[in-house]
Structure 1
Amino acid sequence: MSFLEETLEGQQSADVKGNHGDRPEVIDDDTLTSAIALKDKGVPVPGIARKLEIKTGENAGKCPSVVSVHQALAEAEEDTITAADLPQRPKPARVLRP
Protein backbone atom coordinates (compact mmCIF):
# COMPACT_ATOMS: atom_id res chain seq x y z
CA MET A 1 0.00 0.00 0.00
CA SER A 2 1.42 3.36 -1.01
CA PHE A 3 1.68 6.43 1.17
CA LEU A 4 -1.13 8.13 -0.77
CA GLU A 5 -3.47 5.18 -0.28
CA GLU A 6 -2.71 5.07 3.44
CA THR A 7 -3.36 8.81 3.72
CA LEU A 8 -6.68 8.58 1.91
CA GLU A 9 -7.72 5.58 4.01
CA GLY A 10 -6.87 7.48 7.19
CA GLN A 11 -8.84 10.51 6.03
CA GLN A 12 -11.86 8.34 5.23
CA SER A 13 -11.79 6.62 8.61
CA ALA A 14 -11.46 9.99 10.38
CA ASP A 15 -14.39 11.33 8.35
CA VAL A 16 -16.53 8.39 9.47
CA LYS A 17 -15.68 9.26 13.08
CA GLY A 18 -16.64 12.90 12.49
CA ASN A 19 -13.10 14.28 12.55
CA HIS A 20 -12.69 16.70 9.68
CA GLY A 21 -9.31 18.16 10.55
CA ASP A 22 -10.70 21.48 11.70
CA ARG A 23 -9.15 23.33 14.59
CA PRO A 24 -11.32 23.59 17.68
CA GLU A 25 -13.13 26.88 18.05
CA VAL A 26 -11.45 29.27 20.44
CA ILE A 27 -14.62 31.27 21.03
CA ASP A 28 -17.80 29.21 21.20
CA ASP A 29 -21.37 30.53 21.30
CA ASP A 30 -21.46 30.95 25.11
CA THR A 31 -18.14 32.78 25.14
CA LEU A 32 -19.27 34.99 22.26
CA THR A 33 -22.45 35.89 24.13
CA SER A 34 -20.34 36.91 27.13
CA ALA A 35 -18.00 38.92 24.90
CA ILE A 36 -20.91 40.78 23.29
CA ALA A 37 -22.39 41.56 26.72
CA LEU A 38 -19.04 42.92 27.92
CA LYS A 39 -18.65 45.00 24.74
CA ASP A 40 -22.14 46.45 25.23
CA LYS A 41 -21.10 47.49 28.76
CA GLY A 42 -18.18 49.43 27.27
CA VAL A 43 -15.34 47.07 28.20
CA PRO A 44 -12.44 47.44 25.71
CA VAL A 45 -11.55 44.37 23.65
CA PRO A 46 -8.24 43.65 25.46
CA GLY A 47 -10.19 43.65 28.74
CA ILE A 48 -12.79 41.32 27.24
CA ALA A 49 -10.04 38.93 26.11
CA ARG A 50 -8.59 38.81 29.63
CA LYS A 51 -12.01 37.95 31.12
CA LEU A 52 -12.76 35.07 28.71
CA GLU A 53 -11.41 31.53 28.87
CA ILE A 54 -10.82 28.94 26.13
CA LYS A 55 -12.80 25.79 26.98
CA THR A 56 -11.32 23.13 24.66
CA GLY A 57 -8.10 22.22 22.88
CA GLU A 58 -4.51 22.46 23.98
CA ASN A 59 -5.03 26.07 25.13
CA ALA A 60 -7.94 25.20 27.41
CA GLY A 61 -7.96 27.42 30.48
CA LYS A 62 -6.06 30.25 28.80
CA CYS A 63 -7.40 33.56 27.55
CA PRO A 64 -8.07 33.98 23.82
CA SER A 65 -5.99 36.48 21.91
CA VAL A 66 -7.23 40.00 21.35
CA VAL A 67 -7.29 39.29 17.60
CA SER A 68 -9.55 36.25 18.11
CA VAL A 69 -11.98 38.35 20.14
CA HIS A 70 -11.94 41.14 17.53
CA GLN A 71 -12.65 38.64 14.75
CA ALA A 72 -15.46 36.92 16.66
CA LEU A 73 -17.13 40.23 17.51
CA ALA A 74 -16.79 41.45 13.90
CA GLU A 75 -18.33 38.23 12.54
CA ALA A 76 -21.17 38.46 15.04
CA GLU A 77 -21.78 42.07 14.02
CA GLU A 78 -21.80 41.12 10.32
CA ASP A 79 -24.38 38.42 11.03
CA THR A 80 -26.74 40.93 12.66
CA ILE A 81 -26.60 43.49 9.85
CA THR A 82 -29.53 43.16 7.46
CA ALA A 83 -30.28 44.84 4.17
CA ALA A 84 -32.59 47.29 5.96
CA ASP A 85 -29.64 48.47 8.07
CA LEU A 86 -27.50 49.33 5.05
CA PRO A 87 -27.59 52.88 3.71
CA GLN A 88 -29.71 53.35 0.62
CA ARG A 89 -27.97 54.20 -2.61
CA PRO A 90 -28.87 57.71 -3.81
CA LYS A 91 -30.83 57.94 -7.03
CA PRO A 92 -28.85 59.39 -9.90
CA ALA A 93 -29.77 62.93 -10.86
CA ARG A 94 -31.17 63.46 -14.30
CA VAL A 95 -29.96 66.51 -16.08
CA LEU A 96 -32.48 67.86 -18.55
CA ARG A 97 -30.97 69.88 -21.36
CA PRO A 98 -33.01 72.26 -23.52
Structure 2
Amino acid sequence: MAETERENIRESTLEGLDTAARKGKHGVRPPVITDDMFHTVLRRRAPGESVEPIQPDLIIPTGKRKGQNPSVASIYRALAEHSKREAYPKAIEQAHVDFASLQNRRRPPAPQPDAAALSSWP
Protein backbone atom coordinates (compact mmCIF):
# COMPACT_ATOMS: atom_id res chain seq x y z
CA MET A 1 0.00 0.00 0.00
CA ALA A 2 2.85 2.39 0.83
CA GLU A 3 4.45 1.58 -2.51
CA THR A 4 1.24 2.49 -4.35
CA GLU A 5 0.99 5.76 -2.43
CA ARG A 6 4.61 6.60 -3.24
CA GLU A 7 3.95 5.89 -6.94
CA ASN A 8 0.86 8.16 -6.87
CA ILE A 9 2.90 10.97 -5.30
CA ARG A 10 5.62 10.51 -7.91
CA GLU A 11 3.14 10.62 -10.80
CA SER A 12 1.38 13.73 -9.49
CA THR A 13 4.75 15.45 -8.95
CA LEU A 14 5.81 14.67 -12.52
CA GLU A 15 2.46 15.93 -13.84
CA GLY A 16 2.89 19.16 -11.87
CA LEU A 17 6.42 19.66 -13.19
CA ASP A 18 5.22 19.02 -16.75
CA THR A 19 2.37 21.53 -16.35
CA ALA A 20 4.73 24.15 -14.96
CA ALA A 21 7.21 23.56 -17.81
CA ARG A 22 4.44 24.10 -20.37
CA LYS A 23 3.68 27.42 -18.68
CA GLY A 24 7.35 28.38 -18.96
CA LYS A 25 8.23 27.88 -15.31
CA HIS A 26 11.18 25.64 -14.62
CA GLY A 27 11.55 25.82 -10.85
CA VAL A 28 14.68 27.92 -10.76
CA ARG A 29 15.25 30.01 -7.67
CA PRO A 30 15.75 33.71 -8.47
CA PRO A 31 19.35 34.84 -8.09
CA VAL A 32 20.32 36.61 -4.87
CA ILE A 33 22.83 38.83 -6.67
CA THR A 34 20.91 41.13 -9.01
CA ASP A 35 22.46 42.78 -12.05
CA ASP A 36 22.72 46.10 -10.19
CA MET A 37 24.48 44.49 -7.25
CA PHE A 38 26.82 42.63 -9.57
CA HIS A 39 27.76 45.80 -11.46
CA THR A 40 28.51 47.43 -8.11
CA VAL A 41 30.76 44.50 -7.19
CA LEU A 42 32.58 44.67 -10.53
CA ARG A 43 33.03 48.44 -10.29
CA ARG A 44 34.45 48.26 -6.77
CA ARG A 45 36.66 45.23 -7.49
CA ALA A 46 38.27 46.89 -10.53
CA PRO A 47 40.66 49.00 -8.42
CA GLY A 48 41.50 45.97 -6.26
CA GLU A 49 38.97 46.08 -3.39
CA SER A 50 38.22 42.66 -1.91
CA VAL A 51 34.74 41.16 -1.60
CA GLU A 52 34.52 41.28 2.21
CA PRO A 53 34.21 45.11 2.51
CA ILE A 54 31.79 45.22 -0.44
CA GLN A 55 29.39 42.63 0.99
CA PRO A 56 27.86 44.77 3.80
CA ASP A 57 26.93 47.49 1.30
CA LEU A 58 24.80 45.13 -0.81
CA ILE A 59 21.15 44.55 0.14
CA ILE A 60 18.89 41.82 -1.25
CA PRO A 61 15.86 43.57 -2.80
CA THR A 62 13.31 40.72 -2.95
CA GLY A 63 12.48 37.28 -1.65
CA LYS A 64 12.74 35.57 1.70
CA ARG A 65 15.98 37.39 2.64
CA LYS A 66 14.79 40.83 1.53
CA GLY A 67 16.71 43.59 3.30
CA GLN A 68 19.62 41.33 4.29
CA ASN A 69 23.12 41.18 2.85
CA PRO A 70 24.08 38.41 0.42
CA SER A 71 26.72 36.00 1.62
CA VAL A 72 30.33 36.37 0.54
CA ALA A 73 30.01 32.93 -1.07
CA SER A 74 27.12 34.18 -3.23
CA ILE A 75 29.23 37.08 -4.44
CA TYR A 76 32.18 34.82 -5.26
CA ARG A 77 29.80 32.40 -7.04
CA ALA A 78 28.43 35.25 -9.17
CA LEU A 79 31.97 36.36 -10.00
CA ALA A 80 32.92 32.79 -11.01
CA GLU A 81 29.86 32.49 -13.26
CA HIS A 82 30.73 35.83 -14.84
CA SER A 83 34.27 34.74 -15.58
CA LYS A 84 32.98 31.52 -17.16
CA ARG A 85 30.61 33.50 -19.38
CA GLU A 86 33.45 35.81 -20.37
CA ALA A 87 35.72 32.87 -21.24
CA TYR A 88 33.07 30.84 -23.04
CA PRO A 89 33.02 32.71 -26.41
CA LYS A 90 36.78 32.36 -26.71
CA ALA A 91 36.55 28.64 -25.98
CA ILE A 92 33.87 28.22 -28.66
CA GLU A 93 35.96 30.07 -31.22
CA GLN A 94 38.99 27.92 -30.40
CA ALA A 95 36.91 24.74 -30.65
CA HIS A 96 35.75 25.77 -34.14
CA VAL A 97 39.34 26.41 -35.23
CA ASP A 98 40.47 23.07 -33.81
CA PHE A 99 37.59 21.23 -35.47
CA ALA A 100 38.28 22.85 -38.86
CA SER A 101 41.96 21.91 -38.69
CA LEU A 102 41.04 18.30 -37.81
CA GLN A 103 38.60 18.14 -40.71
CA ASN A 104 41.22 19.48 -43.12
CA ARG A 105 43.77 16.87 -41.99
CA ARG A 106 41.33 13.95 -42.26
CA ARG A 107 39.70 14.86 -45.55
CA PRO A 108 41.73 13.97 -48.63
CA PRO A 109 41.80 16.70 -51.24
CA ALA A 110 38.94 16.52 -53.73
CA PRO A 111 40.03 15.39 -57.19
CA GLN A 112 40.25 18.31 -59.60
CA PRO A 113 39.04 17.72 -63.15
CA ASP A 114 41.76 18.37 -65.68
CA ALA A 115 41.28 21.05 -68.30
CA ALA A 116 41.45 18.59 -71.24
CA ALA A 117 38.53 16.56 -69.90
CA LEU A 118 36.43 19.68 -69.42
CA SER A 119 37.14 21.03 -72.92
CA SER A 120 35.92 17.81 -74.57
CA TRP A 121 32.69 17.81 -72.57
CA PRO A 122 29.71 18.30 -74.94
Which has more radius of gyration? 2
Cα 1:9/1:80, change in 2 over 3 Å: closer
Answering whether residue 54 of structure 2 is matched by residue 48 of structure 1, we say: yes
Q: 1:33 & 1:24 partners in 2: Cα distance? A: 17
| 5+ residue gaps, structure 2 | 1-6, 92-122
TM-score with structure 1 setting the length:
0.68
Q: Conserved in 2, the CA contact under 8 Å of 1:24 and 1:56? A: no
Q: 1:61 & 1:45 partners in 2: Cα distance? A: 19
Deviation, 1:23, is 1.6
**After TM superposition, which residue ranges in structure 1, 4 or more long, deviate above 6 angstroms?**
none
1:30-89 Cα offsets, whole Å, 9 max, x none, are 211111001113332111111112223211221110111112123323433447xxxxxx
Answering whether residue 82 of structure 2 is matched by residue 73 of structure 1, we say: no
1:3-41 Cα offsets, whole Å, 9 max, x none, are 222111111222233321212101122211111001113
How many residue pairs end up in the alignment?
Answer: 83
1:22 matched residue in structure 2 = 28
| 5+ residue gaps, structure 1 | 84-98
Q: Percent same amino acid among aligned pairs?
A: 40
Cα 1:17/1:57, change in 2 over 3 Å: farther
Larger relative CO (CA 8 A, sep 6+): 1 or 2?
Answer: 1
TM-score with structure 2 setting the length:
0.57
Cα 1:7/1:80, change in 2 over 3 Å: closer
RMSD: 2.2
